[in-house]
Amino acid sequence: MKNYLTVNNLSYSYPDGHIALKDVGFALDEKESLAILGPNGAGKTTLILHLNGILGNLTKEIKISNFEYTDENMANIRKTVGVVFQDPDDQLFMPTVIEDVMFGPKNFGFDEKEAENLAIDALKKVNMIDFLDRPPHHLSYGQKRKVAIASVLASKPKLLVLDEPGSNLDPSSRRELIEILNNLDVSKILVTHDLPMALEICKRSIVLNDGQITRDDDTLNILRDDEFMKNNRLELPYGFAFHHLGEE
């Protein structure tokens, strides 16, 4: 299968001189799900901000769907790559759920009716169609997370990037979110500390530590490598057993 996203020798330093990424490179196939794992401060969020063109100087280290990351391609890239941030309140600001989810399509040039149809379809995919007239600030945290995902899905991205999608969710909401994400027919990149969630959604993971990729492998292989996990400050939840997921 043809690589859909390629990242080649991507490095980035913040204005204070902190080196956040060092020669990062990987490829993603169309419809593949990839987890980005690593301890706090490893460079994970910096990496995903590059994928949406929010950071970086656009010197063509990244290419998606035959678009190089250049200024002239940025509108197409931001339509192709949808980023769901960790805090849903960063993405929800309209008076009602339906208006929030319509905002993206309207911003990308869809007319009112097209935007409404896309929003309704996206809300159905995240099981939130019954809440379309509700004010987002009246929703639970888990409901807000689903609406934030719908607000990105409505613009029909080909790659969905999620920053800590399972954070602050109760077990039932987390389980529902895993099922929703597994049913989405798009490429997905999950940045997460929730290693069991990564295992359930992403067959493959890359591990970032101190701005560098230390491993690119099957998620299961990584999580079973106790020495590697310890060296990269990764830890499964207490009592986790692989047989819970049908693994021996």
User: Cα–Cα distance between 35 and 228 in angstroms, integer?
Assistant: 16
| pLDDT of 2 | 60
User: Cα–Cα distance between 196 and 177 in angstroms, integer?
Assistant: 13
In sign, the C-alpha dihedral spanning 48, 207, 180, 156 is positive
Q: Is pLDDT of 247 > 60?
A: no
Domains and CATH numbers, the chain: 3-236 (3.40.50.300)
| pLDDT of 56 | 67
| pLDDT of 248 | 43
CA 234: distance to chain centroid? 19
Q: Is pLDDT of 246 > 50?
A: no
Give 154-182 pLDDT, tens digit per residue: 999 999 999 999 999 999 999 999 999 99
Least confident segment among 20-29, 30-39, 57-66: 57-66
Give 190-231 pLDDT, tens digit per residue: 999 999 999 999 999 999 999 999 999 999 999 999 999 999
